[in-house]
């Protein structure tokens, strides 16, 4: 069993009450990237859920399992050794600077420019991170271009060019949620690993081990559990893409709950635009006379707003043109 060397006290972590077990949701769209209808299915899934599972994605399973093994080796180091990586992206418990906490430890790295050696990490770990990121970046480019085809955006690289840009503000995060045997004593409460939020970027590509915990919020505000699948990717719409499609595609609110016996490892690529990029509804998606739902802002402005707010805040609400617009 892999545990934190110095796990946080439960009283300092976030708990939620659960009156009944959250249902496992079997309706998550599953899309084969090689399906001729993928462009239509991806758009439909992003309109209805802001979330879908991607299969036949082309990323070698070896890249996933190797990185997972290296990540677990790192997270199982003594806490003093892990703390040496803090200046290079390691953190635990605290999520942002505004009081949000979770039963979590993580590594966060920028993916642009090309990732170089991460000090204090093993050479094998660095190779595994680099190989995985390069493969998932290529997948992200392909997914947003297929998405553009489905939205009938011209040119089809309107979205992918932002991720390909050498100044793209994309990042990669490895999350480790240790098991929590103390959960048995919480009687009707669940321990939060990562609190509810939407991702600010354009698109997120997530892969996890075969441990449950990820939940998404449906349009009726019901929370449902996502069945784990360690061979597939889960794709999420981010806030920036919601704005660029003028609300047609919706960023998905999601969270992670802790398992009492099994550790969860997730790896997420967050595809973001350059800092100076203006985020605004794409004219080619606007009907004649249609008004933009959001004020124009740069990615730097939105990222700063997100960083300075609580995790679960409605960050896009500050940029809506009408106060009563609902998300």
First to last CA, the chain: 40
Both tokens of 301, joined, read 């402005």
Residue numbers annotated as active site? 264
| Per-residue CA distances from 134 to 74, 113, 311 (Å) | 21, 12, 28
| Per-residue CA distances from 107 to 28, 66, 83, 258 (Å) | 28, 16, 11, 18
Q: How many angstroms separate the CA atoms of 309 and 289, rounded?
A: 34
Both tokens of 250, joined, read 């919706």
HSE, side-chain direction, 13 A CA sphere, residue 37: 5
């Amino acid at each position: 069993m892999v545990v934190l060397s110095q796990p946080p006290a439960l009283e300092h972590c976030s708990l939620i009450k659960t009156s009944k077990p959250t249902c496992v949701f079997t309706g998550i769209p599953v899309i084969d990237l090689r399906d001729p209808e993928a462009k239509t299915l991806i758009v439909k899934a992003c309109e209805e859920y802001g979330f879908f599972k991607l299969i036949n994605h082309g990323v070698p399973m070896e890249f996933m399992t190797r990185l997972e093994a290296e990540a677990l080796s790192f997270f199982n180091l003594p806490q003093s050794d892990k703390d040496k990586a803090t200046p290079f992206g390691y953190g635990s418990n605290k999520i942002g600077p505004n009081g949000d906490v979770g039963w979590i430890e993580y590594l966060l790295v920028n993916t642009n420019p090309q990732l170089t050696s991460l000090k204090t990490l093993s050479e094998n770990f660095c190779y595994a991170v680099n190989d995985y990121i390069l493969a998932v970046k290529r997948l992200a480019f392909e997914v947003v271009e297929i998405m553009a085809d489905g939205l009938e955006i011209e040119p089809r690289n309107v979205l992918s060019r932002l991720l390909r840009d050498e100044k793209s503000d994309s990042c990669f995060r490895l999350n480790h949620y240790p098991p929590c045997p103390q959960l048995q004593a919480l009687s009707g409460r669940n321990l939060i690993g990562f609190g509810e939020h939407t991702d600010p970027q354009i698109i997120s590509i997530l892969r996890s081990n075969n441990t449950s915990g990820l939940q998404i919020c449906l349009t009726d505000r019901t929370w449902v559990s996502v069945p784990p699948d360690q061979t597939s990717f889960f794709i999420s719409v981010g806030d920036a893409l919601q704005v660029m499609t003028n609300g047609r595609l919706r960023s998905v609110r999601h969270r992670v709950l802790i398992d009492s016996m099994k550790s969860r490892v997730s790896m997420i690529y967050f595809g973001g635009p350059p800092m100076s990029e203006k985020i605004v509804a794409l004219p080619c998606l606007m009907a004649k006379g249609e008004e933009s739902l959001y004020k124009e802002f740069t990615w730097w402005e939105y990222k700063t707003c997100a960083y300075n707010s609580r995790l679960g805040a409605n960050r896009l609400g500050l940029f809506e043109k009408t106060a009563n617009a609902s998300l």
